[in-house]
Chains A and B, each alone.
Chain A
């Protein structure tokens, strides 16, 4: 290769790097650096306002062994797993319908589904308080129908209400990646399968499901990761039974003023989310491989 080729390649790469650098530097300063610092903090110790910078694992010991945190982690993971499974199961038929039967109105359908997602998160969560509350819509409806004689108290302020609210908040987000992967499937494959005598179930399990796996996987991740650390929903509709790890993180950064412990809880959350996500992806792949046989 002559020097000129290298010079040319260099300048092409250099131009790309120069162009992306403002954005990249910004993301480094406001995202990468904070995450690195929070990891560092998780190994330090704080007494009132002074921070001891020597390396220690005390925070992780606390985060992993204290029953309160262990319970919060388990509940957060459990809730986010349930929510992501529920959203994917609910979203798949919708994505399927839009992709295969949407016709010319595909974009309109997608728009209708994304609109509620992009309105205020806070307000959406609050609207479930109106539905599930003691004087709420559901209780009013059941009373009016005569199915119950006094309002059900247990609709709100527990893990179930958190799950329902989270599903409602995230289900639209799960539809999009599944829809995209269904759109990519060559329709002649399905037709060829049916031409060869496949029923609907067979073409679903043998062709469509495996081919839409990437979409299903990203739907899982896109729901699971943010829900583990959700703060607003458990705070508003969770009560004491529905508290999740985000509240503990917030308390340590706020009133409790124990930043290193808060940092350790955050890092542990990230690690847990990442491993749960990894396991999920693996399990999905294996499941589909099993179905395919």
Chain B
């Protein structure tokens, strides 16, 4: 009994923790439907005006389009690069494996501002015009560690005898990669695409430093934050972006779990 009474506070704490985690975030959609311009209680009334205004806003729509393009380019490139690296790390032993992996994963362990300014410095030194392209180049580096984590996990669960069986059945190395390796790790690839797209969509700092005249959504939001009157519209935009992120991440998670189930089923005949 004494042990039980000691444990009970844990779920309570967990509940409080979840409130702390979600409460501030849920304020965004709440106030985005509020008629008042100032985000304060009590709520004044329900409106979808801010959303309507948002979709008439050409600058915002331009930034959204930019974000979409950047996100696609970043997620595809970083996933392709991460497939190569994750495959190399999980399949082969080679000299310099640790430092190479360390370098690719380094953005996780560097203050982002430093990554941003040092990239800015190099790009300006080489004389490259800042544009959406430079944002893409920068965000790829930033997304690589996330793509890598997802894909390394995917490749590690991969039974090597599957590839050997394919070779044994007469398939070439390239054919084996196309017919066995890729389809089996497809869920990890999809998951990497979704995660890196989400990160790119929400990434602010690199986009802020490396973009030229054309901006992405987070940079656009940053510019709007100075104007109090723009707040409800920003809240509406933020709510939409958040919804998009949550949907993408949920899909990524479902895909990942399906893949996990498949791996488990393959794990052993007696399992």
Task: Indicate whether A and B interact.
Answer: yes
B39 touches A135 (CB 8 A): yes
What distance in Å separates the Cβ of A129 from its nearest Cβ neighbour in chain B?
8
B118 touches A122 (CB 8 A): no
B40 touches A140 (CB 8 A): yes
The answer to whether residues A222 and B108 also contact, given A30-B138, A122-B221 and a CB cut-off of 8 A, is yes
Q: Identify which of B55-63, B163-171, B238-246, B262-270 touches chain A.
A: B238-246
The answer to whether residues A97 and B108 also contact, given A16-B93, A30-B138, A122-B204 and a CB cut-off of 8 A, is no
The answer to whether residues A269 and B88 also contact, given A37-B122, A122-B202, A135-B40 and a CB cut-off of 8 A, is no
B111 touches A120 (CB 8 A): no
The answer to whether the Cβ of B25 comes within 8 Å of any Cβ in the partner chain is: yes
B238 touches A259 (CB 8 A): no
Interface of B is mostly: helix
The answer to whether residues A118 and B18 also contact, given A13-B94, A27-B103, A28-B103 and a CB cut-off of 8 A, is no
8 Å CB contact of A253 from B10, B13, B120: B120
The answer to whether residues A26 and B120 also contact, given A93-B13, A171-B21 and a CB cut-off of 8 A, is no
The answer to whether the Cβ of B106 comes within 8 Å of any Cβ in the partner chain is: yes
The answer to whether residues A200 and B3 also contact, given A22-B84, A269-B111, A270-B110 and a CB cut-off of 8 A, is yes
- Interface magnitude class on chain B: 35 or more
The answer to whether the Cβ of B255 comes within 8 Å of any Cβ in the partner chain is: no
A232 touches B249 (CB 8 A): no
Output the nearest chain A residue to B97 by Cβ-Cβ distance: A16
B40 touches A97 (CB 8 A): no
The answer to whether the Cβ of A278 comes within 8 Å of any Cβ in the partner chain is: no
The answer to whether the Cβ of B182 comes within 8 Å of any Cβ in the partner chain is: no
Q: Identify which of A60-68, A105-113, A153-161, A184-192 touches chain B.
A: A105-113
A126 touches B100 (CB 8 A): no
Output the nearest chain B residue to A247 by Cβ-Cβ distance: B113
Report the bound CA distance from A168 to B24 in whole Å.
9
The answer to whether residues A97 and B121 also contact, given A123-B238, A229-B113 and a CB cut-off of 8 A, is no
Residues in B34-89 with C-beta less than 8 Å from chain A: 38-42, 81-82, 84-85, 87-89
The answer to whether the Cβ of A228 comes within 8 Å of any Cβ in the partner chain is: yes
B122 touches A137 (CB 8 A): no
What distance in Å separates the Cβ of B217 from its nearest Cβ neighbour in chain A?
9
A38 touches B109 (CB 8 A): no
Render A237-248 as a binary contact track against B, CB cut-off 8 A, 1 for contact.
Answer: 000000000100
What distance in Å separates the Cβ of A140 from its nearest Cβ neighbour in chain B?
4
B25 touches A116 (CB 8 A): yes
The answer to whether the Cβ of B185 comes within 8 Å of any Cβ in the partner chain is: no
Report the bound CA distance from A128 to B21 in whole Å.
11
The answer to whether the Cβ of B227 comes within 8 Å of any Cβ in the partner chain is: no
What would 16 A/B residue contacts be, using CB atoms closer than 8 Å?
A13-B92, A15-B92, A22-B84, A23-B81, A30-B141, A38-B114, A96-B10, A97-B13, A97-B14, A118-B245, A122-B202, A122-B218, A123-B221, A130-B39, A253-B117, A263-B121
Interface residues of B (CB under 8 A from A): 3, 6-7, 10-11, 13-14, 17-18, 20-25, 27-28, 31, 38-42, 81-82, 84-85, 87-89, 91-97, 100, 103-104, 106-115, 117-122, 125, 137-138, 140-141, 144, 195, 198-199, 201-202, 204-205, 209, 218, 221-222, 225, 234, 238, 241-242, 245-246, 249-250, 253, 257
Interface residues of A (CB under 8 A from B): 12-17, 19-20, 22-24, 26-28, 30-35, 37-38, 41, 90, 93-94, 96-97, 101, 107, 111-116, 118-124, 126-128, 130-131, 133, 135-137, 140-141, 144, 168, 171-172, 200, 221-222, 225-226, 228-232, 236, 246, 249-250, 253, 259, 262-263, 266, 269-270, 273
A19-B92, A26-B140, A226-B111 are known; give 14 further A-B pairs, CB within 8 A: A23-B104, A30-B141, A35-B114, A37-B125, A111-B253, A114-B249, A122-B222, A123-B25, A133-B39, A136-B39, A136-B40, A200-B3, A246-B113, A270-B111
Which 4 pairs between the two chains have the least Cβ-Cβ distance? A229-B111, A16-B92, A16-B94, A34-B118
